[in-house]
Amino acid sequence: MRTLFLSHRGESDDAPENTLQAFQLAMDRDSDGIELDLRLTSDHKLICFHDADLKRITGYDLTVADSTFEQLLKYHDIPLFSDALDILLQHKHMQIELKGSPELLPFVREILDRAPERERFAISSFEQDTIAKAAEFFPDLPRLLLIDLRKEFGTFPDAASVISMLKPLQCSISFRADPAADRKFVRELSAAGLRVVCWGVNSDELGLAMAELGVNALTCNHAVALREKYYGSVK
C-alpha cells in the first residue's frame, strides 16, 4: 500500500503549527492529509492546540482547560476543530490527536458524525485510557496509540510484544520513528490487522527509511517535500 505523508500540525515548518494557515498550506500543496491536536476549553469548545497552556506559543501562562475560547483568542489565533475540517479537501485524510482527558470524546464524535467521507479520519492519543475509551465512541475508525516504543520497553521490542500490549486497548499504533524498526516488524503488525503509523521524523533520512518499511502513514512538518523525495526516488 502507498504510504501517506501527513502534514504534522499542518505544514508547520513553513507556517505556525495548528493554525488555519498551516492547514491551508497543506491543502494548497496537495498533502495527503493533516495531523492536528485537539483540546477542550472550559466552555466546551474543541480547539486545535498542542500544549496544555499558551506559554510556549505566546509567552502567557494561560491553561487551555481552565480558559474559555474567547479568553484564549485574546492571546493567540487558535482555530476551532470545525474550522479545520472546513479546510480539509475531499479525499484528504486527517489524523486527530486527542489531548487532555477523555471528556472531549463526545464532543469530537458530535462533530465527526456530521463530517463527510468518515473513512478519512483516524483517532490518536498518547493516553492509554483515552484511546481505549475511544473504541466506544469511534468503533469504525482507526484508533492509534501514540508511543515511543524504545522508552516504553527499554529497548526496541519485537512485534509480538507490541501486539500483546495493544490487544486490550483495541487499537493500532503510531510509534516514534526508530532505525531499529524493520520490514518484518511492520509486516507482522500489519498481518495482525493493525494500522502502522510513525511520528517523530526528525530527519529526512529517517522519514524515508520508515516509508521504505511500508508503514501506512507518517507525520512530518514538511510532509509534501518529504513525499516528493520518497516517491521521486522510487523506481
Q: How many domains does the chain have?
A: 1
pTM for the complete prediction?
0.96
Provide mean pLDDT across the span 42-55. 98
Q: Which residue has the cell 501506512?
A: 216
**Count of C-beta atoms within a 10 Å radius of residue 1:** 8
Range of the domain at 216: 4-233
CATH of the domain at 79: 3.20.20.190
**Torsion angle (degrees, nearest 10) of CA 195, 196, 197, 201:** 180
Rounded to an integer, what distance in angstroms lies between the CA atom of residue 142 and that of residue 122?
5
Rounded to an integer, what distance in angstroms lies between the CA atom of residue 210 and that of residue 34?
18
For 176, phi and psi rounded to 5 degrees? -60, 125
Q: Which residue has the cell 497543506?
A: 26
**220 to each of 50, 128, 235, how far by Cα in Å?**
15, 23, 23
HSE at residue 56, side-chain half, CA atoms within 13 A, is 8
User: Over the stretch 125-179, which tens digit does the pLDDT of each residue have?
Assistant: 999 999 999 999 999 999 999 999 999 999 999 999 999 999 999 999 999 999 9
Q: Which residue has the cell 516514534?
A: 176
User: Over the stretch 165-215, which tens digit does the pLDDT of each residue have?
Assistant: 999 999 999 999 999 999 999 999 999 999 999 999 999 999 999 999 999
